Amino acid sequence: QKLSDERCALNRISRELARKSADYSYMSQCIQEIGKEAFPYVSPVWPVQEPTCDFAMIICISDFHLGLSVDNYFGKYDVATAQDRLNQYFEIIKFRDIYGIKDAHIIMLGDMINGNIHPTVRLENRENTIKQTMLAAELLTEFVYKLRSNFRTVHVNSVSGNHSRIGEKDF
């Protein structure tokens, strides 16, 4: 019985390692496919007068839950809606002009993807979580690139959210 239990434990560990290896391999493949686009340098476009102060702006982005698709009585949300909401952030350029802001600090506060954290969401497989991560990276890279032409510098900071896990939560 002890030998059987040890064999089961070893098989479980082997399966987990194989899944992680497959995830890393798939992620590497996705990164190679998506990482081919290069963004040319864009110099900042300033208002008519150069700002006289060194003000900075903090731009907080969180809870996009890319990969979630809902269409019900309470509203509709999908990737296109998330992209529209991200594009609405460009209204902040008005504040750059009003207050003479030179620098922007983008702070991503987590949950950019929907992941598979909850049992109701786990119907999606690991590959979908990886695709969600790649989509989030693509949308946010484009956002930062467009924002870059409007500020002297753009700094990006990010924290991981609880929806970013690929596998089960470790206790």
Using a 10 angstrom Cβ sphere, with 0-12 exposed, 13-18 middle and 19 or more buried, the burial of residue 13 is exposed
Q: What is the predicted pLDDT for the residue at 35?
A: 63
Label residue 107 left, alpha or beta by phi (over 0 means left) and psi (-120 to 50 means alpha).
beta
Would you say 139 and 66 are in contact if contact means Cβ atoms under 8 Å apart? yes
Residue 125 phi/psi, 5-degree rounding, is -95, 180
| Cα distance between residue 134 and residue 113, in whole Å | 9
The model scores a pTM over 0.75: no
Q: What is the predicted pLDDT for the residue at 165?
A: 58
| Cα distance between residue 36 and residue 15, in whole Å | 32
Whole-number Cα distances in Å, 161 to 61, 83, 166: 12, 19, 12
Q: What is the pLDDT along the chain (171 residues), one digit of tens a residue?
A: 888 888 888 888 888 888 878 777 877 777 777 766 677 777 776 654 565 667 888 998 877 777 777 788 888 888 888 888 888 888 888 888 888 888 899 988 877 776 665 555 554 434 477 777 778 888 888 888 888 888 888 898 887 765 555 555 554
